[in-house]
Chain A
Amino acid sequence: MRALLCFLTTVLLAAPILAAAQEAVPTETARPDRSATGGAQTLEDILARQRGERIDDSFRSEAIGGSAATVPALGPLGGASDPEIWRALRYNKADVTASAGGDVGKVLVQDGGMRWYRFRRGPLAVYGGYLLLGTIAALVLFYLLRGKVRLDEPTTGRTVTRFQAIERFAHWMMAGAFVLLGVTGLLVLFGRMFIAPYLGKEVNAGLLTGAKFIHNNVSWAFMIALVMIFVMWVWHNIPNRTDLTWFAQAGGIIGKRHPPARKFNGGQKIIFWSVILLGGSISVSGLSLLFPFALPLFAKTFAVLNDLGVPGWIGMEHLPTALAPQEEMQLAQTWHAIIAFLLMAIIIAHIYIGSIGMEGAFDAMNSGEVDEAWAHQHHSLWLDEYKTKQAGRPGGAAGPAE
């Protein structure tokens, strides 16, 4: 559990780092001489920007003129020249009044979109893609080395009910929604890179229109199932001492020993809390994206983190709290995708161990019935409790569940 918390803390800190990286004032190695342009940007500034270098543009962002009183010569223009007004708009410092559109309409120039776009098609797509491919490759390698986790003892022919119908219903509703959300999300991210060049932009556009429709609407089933899963299984997923034993023996996956476990073992608890916390985070950022500009998350979150001094833990001064509505959406999308990649990697491992990775595992979520030998091998404490309960019922005995 401590490892999980460390992991999540790292993840939760990732977005602020990204945001701060976007907002951080760059350190200038050599301040150019701008006397020839009277302080305006020089050719070197423009070339540096085109090379993708970060420059300290405060000489532009702060050159936004003044009032008619401070610059009387420009009285009819309100104390600011046209370039100064444009710079004020460019840096979101102009006093804009919009009759419609609210705060969104007041942002006339917003250049954060390029940073978001570059991150999205660059590090996000590259590292996210490698994370998924790496997870699949690792599982293939593991399967080749370890093979399927088989039953050590022959099946008894007696079954016990591992999951009730409502539990399996919620699991499969979530599973179906998650697969659809994952596939359509990947199509939206990678379509322009891998589909449009080969199948054409028309095909890609059609696919993305469908993907967006499915992604937006299937999300509700995922969120409902997430709540159902949490309510039904949270009690069984409270970490306890048996988990330490389970982890110490690597869950029996490596080696031949099979540590005792209750209804859910340590590995399953990691899956559960990953789904709840990461899935919850994806849901919240997804709601922010479903209702654009209505549910901004990051400025308030950053303010809370600043108050707690969290940025100082990693050597940062503070996180930006004055975010344009568009920046909120860009950060929400970035966060949504990063966490989704993490959860997809975890779920790929879950799918592996729940299907081809372990003999008999799929039955638990398919029919709900597992052989006693399977239950004894993987969830011995739970089987003991189950039998005790069955024996305690009127006319009950530890016999077949059906």
Chain B
Amino acid sequence: MKAMLAGFAAMILIGLGAWLALGQMGFSVEEVSSGPNVRLE
């Protein structure tokens, strides 16, 4: 049971880490597919 819970926890942590890291690296949809000259702020 411990291994199962650890696996699930790792899955969540990896997912959150990937989300944060890719966002920081500029891979968000907003940054990849848009730019300041085409956005209405």
Contacts and interface: CB of A to CB of B under 8 A. Distances in A.
A168 to B, nearest CB: 4
Contact of B8 (A176, A216, A291): A176
Interface in A111-158: none
Contacts of A368: 3
Contacts of A220: 14-15, 18
Contacts of A292: 32-33
Given A214-B15, A217-B18, A221-B14, A291 B3 contact: no
Nearest to B32: A292
A172 interface: yes
Contacts of A367: 1
B15 A169 contact: no
Contact of B3 (A165, A217, A221): A165
A176 B1 contact: no
B40 interface: no
B-side interface mostly? helix
Contact of A170 (B5, B7, B19): B7
A168 B3 contact: yes
Contacts of A213: 19
Interface residues of B, number: 19
A391 B25 CA distance: 53
A76 to B, nearest CB: 32
A270 interface: no
Interface string B15-31: 11011000000010000
**Interface size range of chain A in the complex:** 20 to 34
Contacts of A171: 3, 7
A173 B33 contact: no
A224 B7 contact: no
B6 A221 contact: no
A165 B32 CA distance: 40
A96 B20 CA distance: 37
Contacts of A173: 7-8, 10-11
B19 to A, nearest CB: 5
Contacts of A187: none
Nearest to A104: B33
A156 to B, nearest CB: 23
Nearest to A173: B7
A217 B13 CA distance: 10
B33 A169 contact: no
Contacts of A100: 35
A360 to B, nearest CB: 16
A243 B10 CA distance: 34
B7 A169 contact: yes
A172 B19 contact: no
B29 to A, nearest CB: 8
Contacts of B2: 165
A357 B15 CA distance: 32
30 contacts: A100-B35, A165-B3, A168-B3, A168-B4, A169-B3, A169-B6, A169-B7, A171-B3, A171-B7, A172-B4, A172-B5, A172-B8, A173-B7, A173-B8, A173-B11, A176-B11, A213-B19, A214-B15, A217-B15, A217-B16, A217-B18, A218-B15, A220-B14, A220-B15, A220-B18, A221-B15, A291-B27, A292-B32, A292-B33, A366-B1
Interface of B: 1-8, 10-11, 14-16, 18-19, 27, 32-33, 35
